Structure 1
Amino acid sequence: MARKRAVLIAGPTASGKSALALAKARELGGAIVNTDALQVYDGLRLVTARPGDADLAQAPHRLYGTIDPATRFSTGDWVRAAERIIAEAGDRPLIFAGGTGLYFESLIKGFAEVPEVPDEVVAEVEREVAGLDRDERGRLIAARDPVIAARLKAPDPQRVTRALAVLKATGRSLATFQDAEHAPLLEGWEVERLVLNPEREVLRERIARRFVAMLEDGAAEEVEAFVARGLDPSLPAMKAIGVREIGDWLAGRCTREEMVARAVTATRQYAKRQRTWFRSRMADWIWVES
């Protein structure tokens, strides 16, 4: 009996993942599953570059804009949602597309089930980490959790905050949970694994063009309505690139030109971090110039 088929499409932001996923879905008769940590949230379709109505009409899409941004949708939440989608897929191929590496790892390597960390603990740790530079974050995580510190290739704010919050909430190192991973979600499936890899300058130009197009399509109005909800600034959705930058512009704290430059620079830096992660953890995938 033929195995079920899945296509995994990773890549930095603006690398063309959504377009390729749609082409694959049409070719295979498959459904597209969001594999991006921010595109799950409702209210920021333009800013997070979620597929538009025309794309949604061409193939089934799952986990796009389905989560209230007032909540924290963790990796564990995504894994549980993906498990349900996989179980209900039947013989339909699934195309997983996005830029969140840990989601992809759960599909093919397994996932470490970590207890939920209370929001107030996360916020407390975020405040502690916020003012630290790279070296200071490295010293902090090394002092409190040397096992995790040894596993981090770089003490970036997100991973340091995650490790310290887990330690504070559970009294256990994140490493103890990582070492007890569950089976891969796509175990037994035929899996095609692709990483989109545009040339650096091509990607930089795409990022700039896309952000200007977002503004022309109404991103400022989208952010204005989103910010008006008065959500906790520490929530993941509030940290989407463009929310703070456009919010500052709307509040008169910067010019339009400054806002665009800041948002484009932040997106390019994010894409660089994604590339670094993919090269480190997905070297055995098929890399595609896009």
Structure 2
Amino acid sequence: MSVATRDMQAGSSGLKAVLIAGPTASGKSALALELAQKAGGIVINTDSMQVYRDLRIITARPTPDEEALAPHRLYGHVDASVNFSAGAWVADATKVLAEARAQKRLPIFIGGSGLYFKALTRGLSAVPPIPAEIRESVRNRLEHGGVEALHAELAQRDPVSAERLKPRDRTRIARALEVIEATGRALPDWHREGLPPLLPSGEFSALFLAPEREQLYARIDARFGVMLTSGAIEEVAALAKRQLDPLLPAMKAHGVPALIRYLRGEIGLAEAAEIGRADTRHYAKRQFTWFRHQLPEFEWVKPEEARGWVMAQTSS
């Protein structure tokens, strides 16, 4: 008998929350929806890209028909112009968790963003919001001076962060400088003063859906092709017209940068599609590694065993 099955013998009434994680295209959404229908649950998005309303197709958000089958929360509720963070997600998730408990519904957190799950179960650093003018100043310096100059500046002001980051990691270098400019304190200092977890140990049961790699990569490739014929190009074209900061998270969703290059005439559609597929496969590989090392409390389950795991949540 698996750990999950032993833990679930008492049935869903004894559960505080269920966490379903896994690499992209592993079948998490279908699994969460089945559990929500059987247990009267609320499906809570735990994916950093599916929060953006501009990107339903390219991020494989649940369809309107799927969302109608059970309550879904935190999907498409953020504009692409927002630099949404794990801290902002936790604030939103806190409200949804309270809603689920008030309605006596099973909270089902589902997604592939390891940092969101870690914030949910381990807590989060207490970095305050960054003023817009500071963020804009740092981004302007990055745009005009280049990432190397920004990294050199960070090395002088926050050598610990500079050493940890790759010299061309534009987003994280900018973030570290924004924090020290806004607060006068380095990012590692804030990390030592964390906020408590929303779901402490013992208040959840967690699964990581782990398909065979080659099977998963084939699904990723096929799904990207379906996206292209289902409106992803038009979706990205509408986003590109907004001329948003390319460093914003929504502008870096897998497939978006390559499709923008295609729309500008810089590359062909076949090349853009292959870049999108490759980026997604690489991301899936990183998801396996991240969860294995960062969140060992997740039980790894093969897709063919996942339905049994779901049934264990609802057994009495």
Q: TM-score, normalised by structure 2?
A: 0.81
**Residue 264 of structure 2 is aligned with which of 251, 259, 275?**
251
SS in 2 for 1:260: helix
Per the alignment, residue 52 of structure 2 pairs with 41
Structure 1 segments unaligned to the other structure (5+ residues): none
**Residue 145 of structure 1 is aligned with which of 158, 172, 177?**
158
1:227 aligns with 2:233: no
Letter in 1 for 2:127: V
**Residue 223 of structure 2 is aligned with which of 210, 213, 216?**
210
1:98 aligns with 2:111: yes
Per the alignment, residue 51 of structure 1 pairs with 62
* Count of aligned pairs between the two proteins: 284
Per the alignment, residue 20 of structure 1 pairs with 31
Structure 2 segments unaligned to the other structure (5+ residues): 1-12, 304-316
Higher mean C-alpha displacement, 59-68 vs 228-237: 228-237
The alpha carbon displacement at 1:34 in A equals: 0.6
Q: 2:32, 2:110 within 8 Å by CA — same for their partners in 1?
A: yes
CA deviation string 1:171-193 (max 9, x = no partner): 21212222111221124863111
Amino-acid identity (%):
47
CA deviation string 1:67-100 (max 9, x = no partner): 1111221211111111111122222111111111
Pick closer, same or farther for the CA change 1:289–1:161 going to 2, 3 Å. farther
Q: 1:121, 1:169 within 8 Å by CA — same for their partners in 2?
A: no
**Residue 83 of structure 1 is aligned with which of 94, 98, 114?**
94
Please list, as runs of the form range in 1=range in 2, the aligned pairs for 1:52-67 lying within 5 A after superposition. Answer: 52-67=63-78
Please list, as runs of the form range in 1=range in 2, the aligned pairs for 1:139-178 lying within 5 A after superposition. Answer: 144-148=157-161, 157=169, 158-178=171-191
Pick closer, same or farther for the CA change 1:253–1:156 going to 2, 3 Å. closer
Partner Cα distance (2:245, 2:161) in 1: 28
Letter in 2 for 1:19: A
Per the alignment, residue 120 of structure 1 pairs with 136
Pick closer, same or farther for the CA change 1:207–1:34 going to 2, 3 Å. same
Pick closer, same or farther for the CA change 1:4–1:128 going to 2, 3 Å. farther
Q: From the CA coordinates, give the structure whose radius of gyration is larger.
A: 2
Q: TM-score, normalised by structure 1?
A: 0.87
Q: 2:23, 2:288 within 8 Å by CA — same for their partners in 1?
A: yes
